Amino acid sequence: MEDLKKNDIIPLEITDITNEGNGVGRYNGIAVFVPSTAVGDVIECRIVKVKSSFCYGRAESYTVRSDTRIESDCPVSKLCGGCSFRHIIYEEECRIKDNFIRESFERIGKLSPEYLPFSGCKDIDLYRNKAQYPVAETEGKAVCGFYAKRSHRVVEFTRCRLQPKIFSDIVDKIISYVNTRHIPAYDEVRLSGLLRHIYLRRGANSGEIMVCLVVTSIKKAGVFDDLVPALLDSFSDIKTVLLNENPRNTNVILGEKMKYLYGDGSIKDTMCGNTVSISPLSFYQVNTHQAELLYAMAAELAGLSENMTLLDLYCGTGTIGLSMARQVKKLIGVEIIQPAIDNAVVNAKANGIENAEFICGDAGKIAKLLYERGERPDVIIADPARRGCDGESLEYMAKMSPDRIVMISCNHTTAARDCAILGELGYSCDKVMGFDLFPRTTHVECVVLMSKEK
């Protein structure tokens, strides 16, 4: 790139926002990505990194400030990087996210569905029902907070605006206990210490709280003996306290082994009118109220009726399928994590649902098995993880020949790819709707209706 060098200062108008939340402008045809900017900003931009076909820049000063720009109301938003959109008004965030989804379906999927109006979230703060705080040692004391952007340096801060206030109070109590007892925090460089993460979950409707301490060895559980009564004394909504063992040198937070210190390792919540039991390893949407609206829209798009069979692929604890089970003859749920399937079975029973079967296994393998045993669901709901569905799942979803496939996804790029593959397998992409389950961050959910071509 001949035109631009590191430390050049250039005038730049921000004209778009990337999926990572960076503003983007063009200088002599070259894309320049600038964090914390807004569409309509005109800036003096310092070039900080030059790549083969684009650059990264930093806003040195503002010639024109976009009228969508606001002051961030979080003291650590720049350090944390979790809330990429805290500097713009929420209406603009919704426009950007809706646009992310449309672009993916048009550019990646080469699809032209009808776009239903984007669903913004009523509560843009305090909406998360789950938090995972890394713990580290600073100057001989355990501290807890978040990892600084693109690093594993723990910044001490527990008052995140996205999480319930009670989480900070619980964390403060745990850290104070840990420091009084000199319990060592995990050191990921020396691979020593005990406490790695504090992981909290709270039922948004029930208020029930799960406290899970991720430690390098559950054999040392004894050091937490006095913590449990102290927590229960102060926080009556805590229904279970447990240890999770993760001795490995890894970025993955949870290990597999659990030890219950109080309660049965799960909490209850209600979702879409059903009681649901949630364990630490089970997936549960972090924004319960907005997820309820998403699932209601999925049910509407599914067009269910009493003689139908519904297949809920990637079902987690069964929340989606169980919310629709009373409208159909038979529900089959498929999920790879055994504790989530255990929760799904308990959840069906707790809600008096008797027409549900839950199978633990890989979605593609089980879809093939179901096809071979002659199952022909009328509707399939597929709600995969960020990487989307694999080829085998898509192939057997289409082979089972349902009238409709409703795809729910937290990654519009893989959703667009998978819908395009389903297009080749005989399904038209009819409707797409964005749902903001993660205000102030770059993440966004979408629901898609695919119909069998006649």
- Residues belonging to the active site: 410
Contact flag: residue 293 with ligand SAM (CB under 6 A)? no
Distances, alpha carbon 32 to alpha carbons 83, 197, 238, 423, in Å: 21, 37, 48, 35
Contact flag: residue 337 with ligand SAM (CB under 6 A)? yes
CA distance 185 to 152: 14
- Nearer of residues 50 and 278 to ligand SAM, judged by Cβ: 278
Residue of 156, 362, 392, 403 interacting with ligand SAM (CB under 6 A): 362
Q: Are 259 and 243 in contact (CB under 8 A)?
A: yes
- Nearer of residues 218 and 291 to ligand SAM, judged by Cβ: 291
Considering only the stretches 61-69, 86-94, 105-113, 335-343, report the one whose residues sit in contact with ligand SAM under the rule CB under 6 A: 335-343
Contact flag: residue 56 with ligand SAM (CB under 6 A)? no
Name residues whose C-beta falls within 8 Å of residue 139's C-beta, 6 or more positions apart in sequence. none
Contact flag: residue 274 with ligand SAM (CB under 6 A)? no
Question: Tell me, what amino acid is at 305?
Answer: S
- Nearer of residues 23 and 316 to ligand SAM, judged by Cβ: 316
- Establish whether 93 is an annotated binding residue: no
- Nearer of residues 336 and 345 to ligand SAM, judged by Cβ: 336
CA distance 71 to 89: 9
Contact flag: residue 388 with ligand SAM (CB under 6 A)? no
- Establish whether 233 is an annotated binding residue: no
Contact flag: residue 288 with ligand SAM (CB under 6 A)? no
Contact flag: residue 283 with ligand SAM (CB under 6 A)? yes
Contact flag: residue 385 with ligand SAM (CB under 6 A)? yes
At residue 435, the 3 state secondary structure works out as strand
Kind of pairing, strands 267-271 and 257-262?
A: unpaired
Contact flag: residue 396 with ligand SAM (CB under 6 A)? no
Considering only the stretches 22-30, 87-95, 203-211, 310-318, report the one whose residues sit in contact with ligand SAM under the rule CB under 6 A: 310-318
Residue of 85, 146, 147, 314 interacting with ligand SAM (CB under 6 A): 314
Q: How far is the CB of 392 from ligand SAM (least distance, A)?
A: 9
Q: Map 201-236 to HEC letters.
A: EECCCCCCEEEEEEECCHHHHHHHCCHHHHHHHHCC
Structure tokens that stand for 72 in this block: 């961030």
- Nearer of residues 34 and 433 to ligand SAM, judged by Cβ: 433
Contact flag: residue 380 with ligand SAM (CB under 6 A)? no
Residue of 93, 245, 292, 335 interacting with ligand SAM (CB under 6 A): 335
Q: Which residue is nearest to ligand SAM (CB)?
A: 316
CA distance 408 to 379: 13
Considering only the stretches 189-197, 262-270, 301-309, 377-385, report the one whose residues sit in contact with ligand SAM under the rule CB under 6 A: 377-385
Buried b (16+ CB within 10 A) or exposed e, 288-324: bbbbbbbbebbbebbebeeebbbbbbbbbbbbbbbbb
- Establish whether 290 is an annotated binding residue: no
Q: Are 247 and 320 in contact (CB under 8 A)?
A: no
Question: Tell me, what amino acid is at 221?
Answer: A
Structure tokens that stand for 35 in this block: 């964090």
By C-alpha distance, which of 416, 417, 422 is closest to 399? 422
Q: Are 239 and 208 in contact (CB under 8 A)?
A: yes
Binding positions for S-adenosyl-L-methionine are 285, 314, 335, 383
Q: For binding to ligand SAM (CB under 6 A), which residues are involved?
A: 283-285, 314-317, 319-320, 334-337, 340, 362-363, 383-385
Binding positions are 285, 314, 335, 383
